[in-house]
Amino acid sequence: MSVNTPQQIAVLVIHTGVRKSRMPLPSVLILGFLAGAFIALGFLLDIRITALIPAEWESLATLLGAMVFPLGLILVVLAGGELLTGNMMYLSMALFSRQIGAAALLRNWFWVTLANFVGAFFVALAFGHFLGVIEGPILDKTLAIAHAKANAGFMHAFVSAIGCNWLVCLGIWLGLSSQQVAGKILAMWFPVMAFVAIGFQHVVANMFVLPMAILNGEMGWATYFANFVPVFLGNMIGGSVFVGLAYYLSLQPNIEPAQ
């Protein structure tokens, strides 16, 4: 059978959460760096494609950008990476099933957050700033996106981030339903495309676009961290509660204990 049932997906998520919690720190840091860079590259591609599209075609630009952004999550899932927003679902379900403790979850989230930031910042510094891939009108678009995200109020950013990781983790969940590469890509594509087109806030994507504004002297680190807190918390609720806890509670009678 080429399709996993929701119950089978839940078991896979729990098992994966346990495995991630036991991963050696060097592996976590390397794969976390890669995941942060992959998400940043997807965002970079989005901006490069949409920045020069005329304003009267804004809806088309939004759609095209949303269509290419999923590259980041596809690389994370298929090539391998430790992505904070996905781990918010994986390790939460492992915690809910009592297969790991809170300390293991927090340790993983801490190191993955740090590694994701380094990877995303590397892409911003090396490709966006040093190489000049983002310049002229493309830079203007990047700065506009950064300021729009940073200027959102705490609750606005928090609720937006819930919607974001609800969709991102649903994309990962749907990707686990297929055992074929093409099926995984297609399943992940639409939820991620939806969150980008809607304009929700993703904590790792923001690790790329807000530092681009900082590197160009348009924003300070205090502004970045003021955005990081509500977006992190909102992404956590979206992945841990709206996906992880919801499916754990609804499917619990049919989930085999993780080994």
**CATH assignment at residue 66:** 1.20.1080.10
Torsion, CA 205, CA 206, CA 209, CA 211, rounded to 10: -130
Give domain status of residue 118, yes or no: yes
CB 169 within 8 A of CB 86: yes
pLDDT at 256 over 90: no
Hey, what are 146's tokens?
């950064």
Give domain status of residue 165, yes or no: yes
Core vs surface per residue 4-32: b (16+ CB within 10 A) or e: eeebbbbbbbbbbbbebbeeeeeebbbbb
Give whole-number Cα distances, 170 to 112, 212, 223, in Å.
20, 29, 30
For residues 252 and 255, give the distance between their C-alpha atoms in angstroms, rounded to a whole number. 5
CB 48 within 8 A of CB 141: no
pLDDT in tens, 185-228: 999 999 999 999 999 999 999 999 999 999 999 999 999 999 99
Hey, what are 23's tokens?
């991963």
Total tally of structural domains belonging to the chain: 1
Give domain status of residue 143, yes or no: yes
The answer to whether the Cα torsion of 148, 120, 76, 89 is positive or negative is negative
Give domain status of residue 259, yes or no: no
Give domain status of residue 192, yes or no: yes
Give domain status of residue 26, yes or no: yes
The model's confidence at residue 136, banded by pLDDT at 50, 70 and 90, is confident
- Domain span at residue 157 reads 6-254
Give domain status of residue 184, yes or no: yes
Give domain status of residue 58, yes or no: yes
Cut 0.75: pTM above it: yes
